Structure 1
């Protein structure tokens, strides 16, 4: 499925995968969890079988926990890849060395991938009965990006398109997947400047000039 999105606020994984930002996406997860038998598999080793209603309650709790991982801002995820981009970091160093300077860069088509593997231990009567393993995979294919760097920060994205593939699994059961086209300038508009050298210490200050000697 392909859609085009231009965000007026931080655009999250939840909004991308489910087309909504409220936590109603948790309800959308219950059906795939039930159909894939994730709760049954976790509860099968317990000595006290649960009723069907209890199974459903466990599935709803699972869905709520999984949904809590979906508030990641997609632009922030992509920004993590841009901090590693050689052209952007080089421009950041140059503009840091010349305060007030600005560089406009047209970047070649590139890809940023991000894999997330959160997990939740599931307890019954205080005893661990299993681990809920969640998989979130994102792949950004970015083209036509024109970026503005000032004072070692990415301050604007003037153009650029991104095709994003995203998938969400739990216990290797596919819960959601989507492909969509993102409008990068639209997503960027309300974000603050992105420090590109966050993990890089500033260069040492130049040494003081030698003292002058009186004639």
Structure 2
């Protein structure tokens, strides 16, 4: 029997950019520049000088980078919180203090979509909204979950594949797919709440 490992936050940024010798803001900025998404939105290069356009691309990239701080566990937990078996175990452990349940889930997929927008202003005048799309999906081979006090306290899975993509105005800025082999059980610090009330 293995000892559970406590894991710190792993973010969408880690999926899209971890292990690369590049700053995420710079990579997003360069991709925005290559795609021409910002000048197209503000009516062409005539509305912004070269330096002005690059400054806007940098600010948009910084906004997108903050979006990438989303915690993967929070995204996965959002999907698990809708799973009927885990919700039922959460209700039972809430109603019976001190109890614990082990729930086994077969192969499953969790998807998370985010569609924020960044409004662009030139000289204080709105010129358009840059439409963003962040997609994250999890393919979990199997999950053995421990539920206590209506919280997911630890999880054991042999393998999980996480895929992420970031797009702006229909142009893909970054995408990546990672395979995680999770040895033993992963303890979730304070647990993940499975019920809203």
Flag whether TM exceeds 0.5 (same fold): yes
Which residue of structure 1 aligns with residue 149 of structure 2? 151
Q: CA RMSD in A?
A: 2.4
Q: Distance in 2 between matches of 1:53 and 1:155?
A: 50
Aligned in 2, Cα 1:177/1:45: closer, same or farther, shift over 3 Å?
closer
TM-score, normalising length from structure 1?
0.81
User: How many angstroms does 1:40 deviate by?
Assistant: 1.4
**1:19-41 residue CA offsets vs partner (Å, 9 max, x unmatched):** 169x9310111221111101210
Greater CA radius of gyration, 1 or 2? 1
TM-score, normalising length from structure 2?
0.88
Which residue of structure 2 aligns with residue 72 of structure 1? 70
Structure 1, unmatched stretches of 5+, are 1-5, 201-215
Alignment check: 8 A CA contact 1:45 1:129 kept = no
Structure 2, unmatched stretches of 5+, are none
1:120 to 96, 118, 121: 118
How do residues 44-193 of structure 1 correspond to structure 2 at under 5 angstroms?
44=43, 49-183=47-181, 188-189=186-187, 191-193=189-191
**1:108-167 residue CA offsets vs partner (Å, 9 max, x unmatched):** 111111100011110111110110111001111112211001121111113342111111
**1:157-189 residue CA offsets vs partner (Å, 9 max, x unmatched):** 133421111110000110011111234578944
Aligned in 2, Cα 1:25/1:104: closer, same or farther, shift over 3 Å?
same
Number of residue pairs matched by the alignment: 192
